[in-house]
């Protein structure tokens, strides 16, 4: 009975590395909070694999770090977490928050890549100064993609305000220099629709106080 109870708050992590520069290096799980950095676990990469396991008292957003430097964010939570480090993609999966967070990132990255492709086409046409009608159509398409991305983000948040993954997404969206002391229309839209429990989360509440947000 004691053995079963002790495993209810356990995490197990299996990682596969398919990119250069990791063999024999130390990987660690680190939580970065204002005025506090906590290292939870560590191991070394051996023949392209690494493993960690232990107890966790609550779900935490941490970073997998290589030699102390952040590589990817992930949720340290009970369950079996699988990490894949590839040259073109780095992901964490297998537990609820990591599946939510990385499914969101996958969708956002796809939209961002589509935007970048059209943006580069638009820039090439603009430099050549040919076919202005096509340039206008591309600009219209770019605006549609921005709206699509914002609607996707807001839909994800609306469905998951009660999940820790939503706080991680909000942290990612609000961490750019342009939002350090201000609030974008997208962030205001997210906060306006958020329940009080989300607004009271430590990071979200700190952001609200910093930018002077007030619900409309």
Residues 6+ apart with CB under 8 A from 164: 59, 61, 75, 77, 97
51-91 tens-digit pLDDT = 999 998 899 999 999 988 999 999 999 999 999 999 999 99
Angle, vertex CA 13, rays to CA 52 and CA 24, nearest 5: 55
What local confidence, expressed as pLDDT, does residue 157 receive?
Answer: 97
124-146 tens-digit pLDDT = 888 877 777 888 888 899 999 99
- Work out whether strand 90-93 and strand 79-85 pair parallel, antiparallel, or are unpaired: antiparallel
Tokens 């109870």 -> residue: 5
Q: Is the pLDDT of residue 196 over 50?
A: yes
pTM of the model: 0.86
Strands (E), 10-163: 10-17, 26-33, 36-44, 49-55, 60-66, 69-76, 79-85, 90-93
Q: How far apart are CA 80 and CA 48, in angstroms?
A: 19
- Secondary-structure class of domain 9-94 per CATH: mainly beta
108-118 tens-digit pLDDT = 999 999 999 99
Q: Is residue 6 very low, low, confident or very high in pLDDT (cuts 50, 70, 90)? A: low
For residue 30 the two structure tokens come to 């680190």
């Amino acid at each position: 009975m004691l053995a079963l109870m002790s495993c209810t708050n356990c995490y197990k992590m299996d990682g596969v590395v398919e990119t250069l520069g990791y063999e024999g290096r130390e990987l660690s799980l680190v939580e970065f909070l204002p005025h506090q950095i906590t290292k939870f676990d560590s191991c070394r990469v051996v023949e392209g694999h690494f493993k960690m396991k232990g107890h966790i008292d609550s779900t935490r957003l941490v970073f997998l770090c290589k030699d102390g430097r952040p590589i990817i964010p992930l949720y340290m939570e009970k369950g079996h977490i699988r990490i894949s480090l590839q040259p073109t993609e780095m992901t964490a999966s297998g537990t609820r928050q990591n599946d939510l967070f990385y499914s969101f990132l996958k969708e956002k990255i796809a939209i961002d890549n589509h935007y970048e492709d059209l943006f580069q086409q638009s820039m090439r046409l603009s430099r050549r100064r040919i076919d202005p009608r096509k340039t206008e159509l591309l600009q219209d398409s770019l605006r549609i993609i921005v709206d699509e991305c914002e609607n996707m983000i807001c839909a994800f948040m609306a469905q998951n305000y009660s999940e820790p993954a939503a706080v991680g997404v909000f942290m990612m969206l609000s961490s750019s220099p342009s939002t350090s002391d201000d609030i974008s229309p997208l962030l205001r839209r997210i906060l306006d629709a958020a329940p009080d429990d989300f607004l009271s989360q430590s990071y979200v509440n700190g952001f609200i106080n910093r930018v002077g947000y007030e619900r409309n």
